[in-house]
Chains A and B, each alone.
Chain A
Amino acid sequence: MTRGRFLDVFVIVALASMPYWMTAIGGYTALATQVVVMGLAAMSLNFLLGFTGVLSFGHAAYFGLGGYGTAMAIKYWNFGTLPAMVVGLATATLAAIVIGGLIVRRRGVYFAMVTIAFGQVFYFIAYRWNEVTGGDDGLSGWSRQSLDLGFANIDIVKDEKAFYYFVLVVFAVCAAAMARLIASPLGRSLVAIRENERRARFLGLNIERRIWLSFVISCFFVSIAGALFALLNNFIDPRALRFDQSGNFVIMAVMGGMRSFWGPLFGAAIFVALSDFVSSRTENWMFFIGLVFVLVVRFFPRGLLGVITRGARA
């Protein structure tokens, strides 16, 4: 068994059994769900960051749009859970197509700056459009609906474990899709752009269009995470699409190891557990989260899996 395969099996077993061991180590089911949701968000970001080499610092916008779209479709149109998620991710993907087209010529630190700034538009819309989005207080007064699959009706409303496994199934589908995409000719060309953009251009690749595509794919997946996030809390507020959320996604990816496929998931698990632990003990938890950023950058820039394994799939 290769190291990469071993890691795959480890991740699958750990995730499938998480609700059972999470309570044993002092967590709770919703925390396990949060790990999976944030893991999906960080892995989606890493599709762009780690596998295309493009630094987006504005992914919270699409995360939040996915969440708001889902929440609003349930609240105002009485949609079921799955159709509502489709509304959310369609909204976010559309926004990503438009904004991606505007920013795709930027590189490096400038790309980051433009994505951060554009992300704030949606924050201010959510913050200011009180009648529809609930403004600063967020959008409450709705809840996820039980899953109607035609042949069966699964209660994910009250049963937290059932909801966890629903999230896990969505996660698995997304992760498999991303792994396939990375292994596809498109994914290989994205890695080529990451490694040497000029050489990739000389090979005749349309760099701008591919980065645009990668950006949209990445935002599509992160919006699914956002939809699940809203469903998990039965609530969403503007902080879900503010720039600090984007920064959290990036640190998750870096902390776990952005050159590896599963790295961001590990990063997300550490980040979620750490935030939960620190914020339950001190009011000044932001200081410690900030300290984590600084320490990771100074002493651990390659991330957890970057140190343990040299990239299972990259």
Chain B
Amino acid sequence: MSQLILFNVFNGLIVGAFYALMALGLSLILNLSGVINFAHGGFLALGAYFAYALIPFLGFWGALIVAPILTALLGLVIERFLIRPLYGGDPLYGLLLTFGLAYMIEDGTKYIWGAQSLPFQAPVWLMSPLSSDYFFLTGYRLFMIAIVALAVSGLFAVLAFTRLGIRIRAGTRDLETVSTLGVNTRLLRSVNFGFGIYLAGLAGVLAAGQLGLSPTIGDNLIMPSFVAIIVGGLGSLVGTLFGGLLIGVASGLTSIYWPSATEAVIYVMMGLVLLVRPRGLLGEEGRLH
């Protein structure tokens, strides 16, 4: 029994890591630009398909490095031509535009790569279980957690220690002042958007190795990412990370006792958080509106 619990907690942690990676990207963009990027799940799928297309040429490791960068570059182009004109306007339009983009990306990947799921091979030596008692501890899963940890700490390090990161953090508080101080806020928003999309692309490559590759791969991850942001607290990236892992583990545990509530439980958690602590677990006061 304890092994079963451990298995599901671990599973939940992995899923939660995906939620967190997605949600961090969404959060970055939302905090600085005020746009909910509904197409984030689409970018995740693109990252995965780019990796699929690149593996024959670059191998898994090359694809792991290049595919998220390609995704981020595409994100930058889309930001420049479609999303940038909407900054500062009614948030409705950003939401609708990225919503339409999500449709287009999903159907586009279907058109190019087909609707059926494709085999996505991570290196074989990573896929074997490390121990027969703990069959779920494959190397790939540990590897995934390591990469997510690396990406997240990299992101936090950039935000904490580099000039760029400090400007991004300042911009989420008061973009106008940052702009007055001579920072090119357009560029800042673009770079920040690129970071967010990079994280989605990276999550895509990792998720494809774990969940398989299909055009709807991002669909099941985007809603929980919203929940992660709300549960963790708006405006707090640490909260977002924590929220993602928390709801992942919660749904993992629920799948033991009440399998059909696996998805619904995270929304119940969100309801409870909104009831008891509306700003979210680590959210800052006064960032609600």
A124 contacts B107, CB within 8 Å? no
Residues 237-286 of B at the A interface (beta carbon under 8 Å): 260-261, 263-264, 267-268, 270-271, 274-275, 278
A55 CA to B93 CA in the complex, in Å? 11
B267 contacts A120, CB within 8 Å? yes
B271 contacts A118, CB within 8 Å? yes
B264 contacts A293, CB within 8 Å? no
Binds B, one of A19-27, A31-39, A107-115, A152-160: A107-115
B264 contacts A124, CB within 8 Å? yes
B193 within 8 A of A: no
- Of the four ranges (under 10, 10 to 19, 20 to 34, 35 or more), the interface on chain B belongs to 35 or more
A284 contacts B110, CB within 8 Å? yes
A296 / chain B contacts, CB cutoff of 8 Å: 96
B96 contacts A254, CB within 8 Å? yes
B289 contacts A293, CB within 8 Å? no
A290 contacts B288, CB within 8 Å? no
A108 / chain B contacts, CB cutoff of 8 Å: 91, 289
Output the least CB separation between A117 and chain B (Å). 5
Question: In the complex, which of the residues B102, B270, B278 contacts A105, with contact meaning CB atoms closer than 8 Å?
Answer: B278
A110 CA to B27 CA in the complex, in Å? 12
A113 / chain B contacts, CB cutoff of 8 Å: 36, 226, 229-230
Question: In the complex, which of the residues B34, B99, B274 contacts A103, with contact meaning CB atoms closer than 8 Å?
Answer: B274
A290 CA to B101 CA in the complex, in Å? 6
Output the least CB separation between B186 and chain A (Å). 18
Q: How many A-B residue pairs have CB under 8 A?
A: 127
Output the least CB separation between B286 and chain A (Å). 12
Residue of B nearest to A246 (CB): B99
B151 within 8 A of A: no
Output the least CB separation between B181 and chain A (Å). 26
B97 contacts A298, CB within 8 Å? yes
Residue of B nearest to A112 (CB): B95
A112 contacts B96, CB within 8 Å? no
Output the least CB separation between B16 and chain A (Å). 16
B111 / chain A contacts, CB cutoff of 8 Å: 284, 287
A292 / chain B contacts, CB cutoff of 8 Å: 100
B92 contacts A117, CB within 8 Å? no
A72 CA to B30 CA in the complex, in Å? 40
B261 / chain A contacts, CB cutoff of 8 Å: 128
Question: In the complex, which of the residues B85, B226, B263, B267 contacts A298, with contact meaning CB atoms closer than 8 Å?
Answer: B85
A291 contacts B100, CB within 8 Å? yes
Output the least CB separation between A283 and chain B (Å). 8
Q: A287-B104, A293-B99, A294-B82 are in contact. Are A109 and B91 (CB under 8 A)?
A: yes
A287 / chain B contacts, CB cutoff of 8 Å: 103-104, 107-108, 111
Task: List, sorted by A's number, 25 A–B pairs whose CB atoms are closer than 8 Å.
Answer: A55-B92, A105-B278, A105-B288, A107-B289, A109-B36, A109-B95, A112-B36, A112-B95, A113-B229, A113-B230, A114-B270, A117-B226, A117-B267, A118-B267, A124-B264, A125-B264, A244-B103, A250-B92, A250-B95, A251-B100, A287-B104, A290-B99, A290-B100, A290-B107, A297-B93
Binding site for B on A (CB under 8 A): 49, 55, 57, 99, 102-103, 105-110, 112-114, 116-118, 120-121, 124-125, 127-129, 243-244, 247, 250-251, 254, 284-287, 289-294, 296-298, 301
Q: Which 4 A-B pairs have the closest CB atoms?
A: A293-B100, A290-B103, A290-B104, A287-B107
